[in-house]
Structure 1
Amino acid sequence: MSYDLVVRSRRAVLPQGQRPAAGAVTAGRIAALAGYDAPLDAVVDEDLGDVALLPGLVDTHVHVNEPGRTEWEGFASATRAAAAGGVTTLVDMPLNSVPPTVTVAALETKRAAARGRCHVDVGFWGGVVPGNLGDLVALDRAGVFGFKAFLVDSGVPEFPPVDAVLLERALAAVDALFVVHAEDPGSVRESPPSPRYADFVASRPPAAERSAVATVVAAARRTGARVHVLHLSSAGALPELVAARTDGVRLTVETCPHYLALTAEQVPDGATEFKCCPPIRDRGNQDRLWAALADGTVDCVVSDHSPCLPELKRADTGDFAAAWGGIASVQLSLPVVWTQARRRGHGLPDVVRWMATGPADLVGLRGKGRIAVGADADLVAFDADAAFRVEPGLLHHRHPVTPYAGQRLTGVVRATWLRGEPVTGDAPRGRLLRAGAA
């Protein structure tokens, strides 16, 4: 049999672990897996040697911001950056686009903005805001992958938060996955104008996450709904999560590269490129997050790519209170996490589980995030031993503002394939995904 593509690697990361292997591709899917030296006939035969072969990453937490705030990012730039970082599937958050994805009409507006502009496959979250409970069933049927809610101010007026009562009503309204920004508004204080990072961190204490997670858990217990805690930064919330899952609550949790790689101690005063919500915390907290990732308490690692116009970061004043809270990192997530993971004794199969298989399973994309027969041939050639210095000018997202500028990271993406075709950044071939049909 002749295949469209064969990719060989002595370090292929398969569901069974890392081993030498060859993956054969026909019509965009993995048709066969064989030994590294297997005689397979193909139109294109790529031998990566010792460069690792990974499944394409799945990033379920990306703010593309188009339409309405396309000057902040946009589907073309965000998906080009994703592909450059080994991400072949992303799920776009319902904000900070205008309109936010809280009605079917808004979803169709967003799909129209994305169509023909995506270099990777893209799905969409719906949103829960006051006043749109009646829209949730229709959004679910229209193919969103679930619904996002904020318990605290989102930062944009068109996506207001919900309280505990409304959250529970939403969970009971439709059988879907709910993903929650879990910070308690009663525990969050207004940050004073200040260039001191310590002042900003103090305004969003660990107690805000612990209290909000308790609210989410209580609502999930009463409704039986499936819930997911977004971007966990405080390890203090872990005992509540563990206890809930032990009791059978349908609960998952993610964290982000910046919480695993950056610490409060290293943030210089005025360095607002480090600002995100919830905030980057201390080194001891980070160690506990890594332990929770290692033991399976934390299910996955996703970027929370949240860019903005450079002037909104207020580098001119260094005022953390006034700066937009968000870190743009979709292109750097893989090397950031791999750099830290290998230092802590983890291997590439761990990273694949956290950043590809885990997020894919979270949103029901069983044909993504794994190198397996029948899965989409979304593949990444990852030079796991190569090092590079982060040069902002080489980043593909629209505004190259990053807290990783100048850092030396390990792991270089050499090539990315989407359904067996190389992603070059020229002709966009990404598909728009619908839950239940992808």
Structure 2
Amino acid sequence: MTRDLDVVIRAARMVTPEGETAGSVGVRDGRIVAVEPTGLTAARVVELADDEVLMPGVVDAHVHVNDPGRTEWEGFASATRAAAAGGVTTIVDMPLNSIPPTCDVPALDLKRRVAFGGPAASQAFVDIGFWGGAVPGNVADLRPLHEAGVSGFKCFLLHSGVDEFPPLDPEQLELAMREIATFDGLLIVHAEDAHAIEHAPAAGGGTYERFLHSRPRGAENLAIAQVIELARWTGCRVHILHVSSSDVLAMLASARRDGVPITAETCPHYLTFAAEEIPDGATQYKCCPPIREATNRELLWEGLRDGVIDMVVTDHSPSTPDLKALDTGDFGVAWGGISSLQLGLSAVWTEARARGFALDDVARWMSEAPAGHAGLTTKGRIAVGHDADFAVLAPDDSFVVDAAKLHHKNAVTPYHGRSLAGVVRATWLRGETIDIEAAPQGRLLSRVTTEGARP
């Protein structure tokens, strides 16, 4: 068998579903065909350095690429370069803030053409899957989108920030969930209650505390309680996006004990930053729901430890610098989104190791769980039969973030100037290292054809 291998990667440390071990990985035709403690050989052998760990490539299932329509905010080329530089080998693109949003099959087809447009026009340095959107009036489009291979459907329960992706009211939410349940699809929910936010204090001005009060945790708690009950009634599988309020952990745990099909994610910024530390006027920290207090942050870490929170994804939501209102520092008008696609793995590892977690925990949260969540069954694990997608991480090396050196289209991030542990030395996609200066080799993924297909 070894004579047939294209490449063998040997590592003193690698992270498998069984935990961290020493060994070698054999790759043929872009797939892992052998994982052995020792002894694999091939014409091409790559030996990792003693300070490097072979990890499964990160699967970031919450990325806003914004292409087409708002390509000046981000685009497939810049987003996937940033992904590859950060150890991310697969992204799943959100249905907004592109124009048109991915709410029907023609819009999905357009997104795929923009991303992959043929061998000469492909912009994808990593593999890409897509979410569809659930908006008022598109119930009839949900099944066709599902059959076309989207991973599931995103909805908002309050204004999304862009008019072309309106929210669902309670009646529309139930209609969508009942339809999605008929084909065992997945609804992913931005869960903040519109009425609670309408009655909260206004967010205007440069005071972060005022902005925090404008997006109270009660709005998140109320919305998630509503989603849980509708999932209980309809049987629809649901997923709560970017959990920021630790209050909801008990609700989620209780719902699961009752058999409600619900999962949840959080994001690196909720696990890293704390409201008390955010300077007034620092709108690069604005996101919705907001970064909350340090005590809340620690409870989110406990939610990961207990398994109530299933995964960590970035919610990479970039914009042009002017939309972040950096000149005025006004949280009321600034775009709510954080750019961190290139930094997610290092940011999470920095905070995780300080709390006693190991690299196999990080791999479970950031690779294995998001891959399963998005229906990409050949991604997210160093295991036979899976794609040979790897991040080579030096976990004890560190760097200071320089926003100007990131590959995101716009150099705005709250991580600027922050020291992070864990340097990504290389990223492999289907058995080859990614060269972000060469021709893109990413492939289109769908929930139906999980092995990927060249467009």
Deviation for aligned residue 1:5: 1.2
Query: What amino acid sits opposite 1:138 in the alignment?
Result: P
Query: What amino acid sits opposite 2:108 in the alignment?
Result: L
**Within 5 A, what are the aligned runs for 1:88-127?**
88-115=89-116, 116-127=122-133
Establish whether residue 394 from structure 1 lines up as the match of residue 439 from structure 2.
no
Query: What amino acid sits opposite 2:58 in the alignment?
Result: L
Task: Report SS of the residue matched to 2:194.
Answer: coil
Task: Determine the structure 2 residue equivalent to 1:355.
Answer: 366
Deviation for aligned residue 1:39: 4.6
**Within 5 A, what are the aligned runs for 1:169-188?**
169-174=175-180, 175=183, 176-188=185-197
Query: What amino acid sits opposite 2:130 in the alignment?
Result: F
Task: Report SS of the residue matched to 1:349.
Answer: helix
Identity, in percent, stands at 55
Task: Determine the structure 2 residue equivalent to 1:338.
Answer: 349
Deviation for aligned residue 1:190: 5.9
Query: What amino acid sits opposite 1:14 in the alignment?
Result: T
Query: What amino acid sits opposite 1:86 in the alignment?
Result: G
Alpha-carbon distance in 1 for matches of 2:140, 2:150: 15
Task: Determine the structure 2 residue equivalent to 1:8.
Answer: 10
Alpha-carbon distance in 1 for matches of 2:365, 2:101: 28
Establish whether residue 406 from structure 1 lines up as the match of residue 421 from structure 2.
no
Alpha-carbon distance in 2 for matches of 1:41, 1:91: 33
Task: Report SS of the residue matched to 1:235.
Answer: coil
Deviating above 3 A after TM superposition, structure 1's stretches of 4 or more consecutive aligned residues are none
Establish whether residue 131 from structure 1 lines up as the match of residue 137 from structure 2.
yes
Q: Tell whether the 8 Å contact from 2:201 to 2:213 is kept in structure 1 after alignment.
A: no
Establish whether residue 43 from structure 1 lines up as the match of residue 56 from structure 2.
no
Task: Determine the structure 2 residue equivalent to 1:296.
Answer: 307
Alpha-carbon distance in 2 for matches of 1:192, 1:374: 50
Establish whether residue 373 from structure 1 lines up as the match of residue 384 from structure 2.
yes
Establish whether residue 436 from structure 1 lines up as the match of residue 444 from structure 2.
no
Normalising by the residue count of structure 2, what TM-score does the alignment of the two structures yield?
0.95
Task: Determine the structure 2 residue equivalent to 1:156.
Answer: 162
Q: Which runs of 5+ in 1 are unaligned?
A: none
Task: Determine the structure 1 residue equivalent to 2:148.
Answer: 142
Q: Tell whether the 8 Å contact from 1:367 to 1:374 is kept in structure 2 after alignment.
A: yes
Task: Report SS of the residue matched to 2:178.
Answer: helix
Q: Tell whether the 8 Å contact from 1:60 to 1:302 is kept in structure 2 after alignment.
A: yes
Alpha-carbon distance in 2 for matches of 1:85, 1:325: 22
Deviation for aligned residue 1:50: 3.1
Query: What amino acid sits opposite 2:20 in the alignment?
Result: Q
Normalising by the residue count of structure 1, what TM-score does the alignment of the two structures yield?
0.98
Query: What amino acid sits opposite 1:333 in the alignment?
Result: G
Task: Report SS of the residue matched to 2:60.
Answer: strand
Q: CA RMSD in A?
A: 0.9
Task: Report SS of the residue matched to 1:168.
Answer: helix
Deviations 1:101-154 (A, max 9, x none): 001111111111101110000000000111111111111111111000000110
Task: Report SS of the residue matched to 2:357.
Answer: coil
Query: What amino acid sits opposite 2:365 in the alignment?
Result: W
Deviation for aligned residue 1:352: 0.3
Q: Tell whether the 8 Å contact from 1:164 to 1:219 is kept in structure 2 after alignment.
A: no
Task: Report SS of the residue matched to 1:428.
Answer: coil
Query: What amino acid sits opposite 2:361 in the alignment?
Result: D
Deviations 1:256-277 (A, max 9, x none): 0000000101100000000000
Alpha-carbon distance in 1 for matches of 2:250, 2:196: 19
Q: Which runs of 5+ in 2 are unaligned?
A: 117-121, 451-455
Relative to structure 1, the CA distance from residue 238 to residue 47 in structure 2 (aligned partners, 3 Å threshold; closer, same or farther) is: closer
Task: Report SS of the residue matched to 2:440.
Answer: coil
